[in-house]
Amino acid sequence: MMSTRPMLWKPSPERAGQSQMHAFMTRVAGKYGFKPEWEMLRQWSIDRRDLFWEELRQFAQVEPSTPAQTTMTGQGMLDTRWFPGMKLNYARHMLRFDDDRDAILFEGELGQSARLSHRQLREEVARCAAALKAAGVKRGDRVAGFMPNVPETVVAMLAAASLGAVWSSCSPDFGVRGVLDRFGQIEPTVLIATDGYTYGGKRFETLARVADMLKELRSVRRTVIVPFLDRSPHIAGVKHGVLWREFLGPADRPAPPLDFEEVPFDHPLFIMYSSGTTGVPKCIVHGHGGTLLQHMKELMLHCDLREGERTFYFTTCGWMMWNWLVSGLGVGAAVVLFEGSPV
């Protein structure tokens, strides 16, 4: 039964006609011989999902280092494999812009602020990737973040991804048990953590919790502390601890070359978690290729996000919307990060 509730908003025909959804629809309708209407596009994307996802890849300008042998093989949810033979890297697409336009704009509730251009972001990721590699991180290793929503979190995630390592994060308001229920399952090699966070105008220190976590996270070989509450936090009690800037090296030194580990389409990128309401949270693994294409589809077609625009979603690093927000970099948009209470 159709809803009788009034429609809240509808774009004008002119605006709809200028959208990326319309551009994509017109492109594939002309190529595959169907009428350029929404319902026709929706049904075609279901009936010919092999063609849809390859056309979306091209539309989003996702360029693999090695092309796929075919778009998909197998049948059904468990047996289907997407883009077998393809090699790519999520971080390469996120960092494909190398200019002075804004990539990250950060604001904290107590007036903290920072901004990074696409070029500066690439340089910081290169420094972090080199430091992670020197710490022994390799393809398939897990790098965990116990972090607020700050630029350093984005840098660490992209650096891990560039190496083919797997990123997983919790926000710093999690208790020790909540973190261990998650990170304890994935055995991270490196932990990126903060000295604290703020919310509602209050300061919350976290180094004692980090020290407690490390008593059980025996796989961690390096703990990198990102100062947020204090410029030079005292980290003597943090096992394997080092401050962020010391780990990366001076920002005024030339950045090392930024290389990317090219991985299969389904190589793990993120580990997220179920809510934990029915027991220990369940690990949910998302791959490089699937994450990249799905996010580009949502951001470009559904949100009509474009190069040079800004995008914001209020989220913490413990929610999947943080991963989605950061993918705006792949469109060429500036990602707006906010840490703290929104009211």
Q: Report how far residue 224's alpha carbon sits from residue 243's, in angstroms, rounded to the nearest whole number.
A: 6
Q: Which pLDDT value is given to residue 254?
A: 92
Q: Report how far residue 45's alpha carbon sits from residue 221's, in angstroms, rounded to the nearest whole number.
A: 46
Bin 24: left if φ > 0, else alpha if -120 < ψ < 50, else beta: alpha
Phi, psi (rounded to 5 degrees) for 52 = -60, -50
Residue type (1 letter), 195: D
Q: Report how far residue 108's alpha carbon sits from residue 93's, in angstroms, rounded to the nearest whole number.
A: 27
Contacts of 263 (CB under 8 A, 6+ apart): 87, 88, 89, 139, 164, 288
Joined together, the tokens standing for residue 179 give 């973190």
- Pairing relationship of beta strands 202-205 and 190-194 according to DSSP bridges: unpaired
The answer to whether residues 81 and 72 touch, using CB atoms and an 8 Å cutoff, is yes
Q: Which pLDDT value is given to residue 343?
A: 85
Q: Report how far residue 220's alpha carbon sits from residue 250's, in angstroms, rounded to the nearest whole number.
A: 24
pTM of the model: 0.96
250 class by beta-carbon count within 10 Å (0-12 exposed, 13-18 middle, 19+ buried): exposed
Query: Tokens 């995630």, residue?
Result: 157
Q: Which pLDDT value is given to residue 1?
A: 54
- Pairing relationship of beta strands 222-226 and 241-243 according to DSSP bridges: parallel
Residue type (1 letter), 83: F
The answer to whether residues 294 and 49 touch, using CB atoms and an 8 Å cutoff, is no
Count CB neighbours of 5 within 10 A: 6
Instruction: Per-residue pLDDT tens, the chain, 343 aa: give them.
Output: 567 889 999 999 999 999 999 999 999 999 999 999 999 999 999 999 999 999 999 999 999 999 999 999 998 889 999 999 999 999 999 999 999 999 999 999 999 999 999 999 999 999 999 999 999 999 999 999 999 999 999 999 999 999 999 999 999 999 999 999 999 999 999 999 999 999 999 999 999 999 999 999 999 999 999 999 999 999 999 999 999 999 999 888 899 999 999 999 999 999 999 988 888 999 999 999 999 999 999 999 999 999 999 999 999 999 999 999 999 999 999 999 999 998 8
DSSP state of 171: -
Contacts of 91 (CB under 8 A, 6+ apart): 125, 158, 159, 161, 162, 260
* CA distances for 269 relative to 74, 132, 208, 272, angstroms: 23, 16, 29, 10
Q: Report how far residue 139's alpha carbon sits from residue 123's, in angstroms, rounded to the nearest whole number.
A: 21
Q: Report how far residue 53's alpha carbon sits from residue 290's, in angstroms, rounded to the nearest whole number.
A: 10
The answer to whether residues 307 and 341 touch, using CB atoms and an 8 Å cutoff, is no
